Every structure is written in structure tokens, then in C-alpha cells.
């Protein structure tokens, strides 16, 4: 009967090579989209996880028959999960109102799990998991861009002449947003003085927050705002 604490060199090489291939497939998808963790990172994480799983299962076989020794093949695997969590956290960035890198961090975590699975000898679940991950990263990205991420909250900062009556411009802004099927969320007003070639000019700044049905409309709306006679400048974000 084959001992669960022994592995031959052929299966050892197969597991290490398979971990490199499977991790590389997911890493290649991330590399194509210029993410912080790409081909090399995902491949190394998968290989390292596989190697540690093999070490945890077979590296201490000589101590099996020693008195008062109890081997736990899952002990090193548990530490891998914790360690990769810190690596994934390094890919998450907070910039202004947005957080990026969460999907890449999750892909690193899944690659780690795939590496552990290969190291434990469960080839079929590992291979199926890779195809599922690629389907999620590629297929659901298309769905998100088309039906979810196209909508977004945007802010328009519009500078209006200080002596202008704001009632008419505000109505014009609302008409432009309505024409683009955008939803007005909030309007704020800021009075300011600005030096332009010497004398101070009183200006008013209107900050409009709106939800656009498509992010591509941002520049078109800003351009329409800018063509209004009372408007001096428009910034959008």
C-alpha cells in the first residue's frame, strides 16, 4: 500500500510544473491589463504555495515513527494563507474616492489556494478552478463594464461670472443633465474672488454632483456647460 507520507520524483516535478502553468495563466490575464501583480507575481505565489504544501505533507516523513511526534499536513498551509494576505494587501490602493487593486488581491489569494491544491495532489479541482477564475476575470469584466461600471457619480465644478444671476444657469445645467438622462444629486455654491491681470474679479463656483448613465458622457456634458454664456470654466472629475 502506498504511504501517504511519500511521493516519488515524477509526481513531485509534475506538481511543481503544473503550479507554474496554472499560476502563469492567471498572471498572464492580470499582466495584459497592466495590474500591479502580473505574470511573475502570480506564478511565484502559486509555485511557492505548491512547494510549501509538498513540504508540509512529505518533508517531515522521517519523523512519522518517532515517539511523541504528531504530524499535521495542514499546518504550513495555514501559514501560507496568512502570509499571502499581506502580499494581497500591498496591491490595494486608496486614491481619493476610489479603491483599486481588490480584484488583483483576490486573484493572488485564489492562486495561492490553487498552488496548495496542486501541492496536495488534487489536480482536477486546481485545473477547473483556473478556468473558473479566468472566466470570472474576463467574462464578468465585460458584464461589469456594460451594465454596472458604466454608471458613475461625477462632479462638475463650474465657474460662473460673479454678477450673473444663478437661477438661469442652474436651470440650464439641469436641462443639460436631463438631456443626457443624468440624475442630479447635489448642488453647492462657492463665492470667491480671483485676481485676473491685476484687479480682483468676483466669481461664483457651482459644484454639481450627478450620476451619469454612461461615463463616456462626462466630456460631452462638460463641453455643453462650457458653451453657456455665463460660464467661464468647467472642471469635471
Question: Above pLDDT 70, what percent of the chain?
Answer: 76
pLDDT in tens, 10-59: 989 999 999 999 999 998 888 887 776 788 989 999 999 999 898 888 87
Structural domains in the chain, CATH included, are 9-148 (no CATH), 152-236 (3.30.70.60)
| Strand-by-strand arrangement of the 183-195 sheet | 183-195, 200-212, 152-161, 231-236
Question: Do residues 142 and 47 lie in contact, with contact meaning Cβ atoms separated by under 8 Å?
Answer: no
- For residue 25, count CB atoms less than 10 angstroms from its CB and return exposed for 0-12, middle for 13-18, buried for 19 or more: buried
Mean pLDDT of the chain: 78
Express each pLDDT in 75-126 by its tens digit.
Answer: 777 888 888 877 777 777 655 555 667 888 888 899 999 999 999 889 999 9
As a whole number of angstroms, the distance between CA 43 and CA 106 comes to 15
User: Percent of the chain, pLDDT > 90?
Assistant: 19
- CA 182 – CA 174 distance, rounded (Å): 9
Amino acid at each position: 500500500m502506498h504511504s501517504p507520507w511519500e511521493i516519488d520524483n515524477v509526481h513531485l516535478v509534475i506538481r511543481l510544473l503544473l503550479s507554474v502553468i496554472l499560476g502563469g495563466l492567471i498572471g498572464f490575464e492580470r499582466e495584459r491589463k497592466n495590474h500591479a501583480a502580473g505574470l511573475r507575481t502570480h506564478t511565484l505565489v502559486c509555485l511557492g504555495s505548491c512547494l510549501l504544501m509538498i513540504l508540509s505533507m512529505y518533508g517531515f516523513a522521517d519523523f512519522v515513527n518517532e515517539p511523541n511526534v504528531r504530524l499535521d499536513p495542514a499546518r504550513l498551509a495555514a501559514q501560507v494563507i496568512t502570509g499571502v494576505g499581506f502580499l494581497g494587501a500591498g496591491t490595494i490602493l486608496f486614491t481619493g474616492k476610489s479603491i483599486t487593486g481588490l480584484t488583483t488581491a483576490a486573484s493572488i489569494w485564489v492562486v495561492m489556494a490553487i498552488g496548495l491544491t496542486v501541492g496536495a495532489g488534487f489536480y482536477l479541482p486546481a485545473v477547473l478552478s483556473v478556468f473558473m477564475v479566468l472566466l470570472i476575470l474576463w467574462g464578468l469584466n465585460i458584464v461589469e463594464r456594460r451594465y454596472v461600471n458604466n454608471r458613475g457619480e461625477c462632479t462638475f465644478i463650474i465657474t460662473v461670472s460673479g454678477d450673473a444671476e444663478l437661477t438661469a444657469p442652474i436651470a440650464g445645467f439641469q436641462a443639460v443633465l436631463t438631456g443626457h438622462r443624468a440624475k442630479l444629486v447635489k448642488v453647492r455654491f462657492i463665492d470667491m474672488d480671483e485676481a485676473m491681470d491685476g484687479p480682483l474679479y468676483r466669481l461664483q463656483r457651482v459644484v454639481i454632483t450627478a450620476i451619469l448613465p454612461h461615463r463616456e458622457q462626462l466630456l460631452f456634458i462638460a463641453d455643453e456647460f462650457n458653451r453657456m454664456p455665463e460660464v467661464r470654466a468647467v472642471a469635471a472629475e
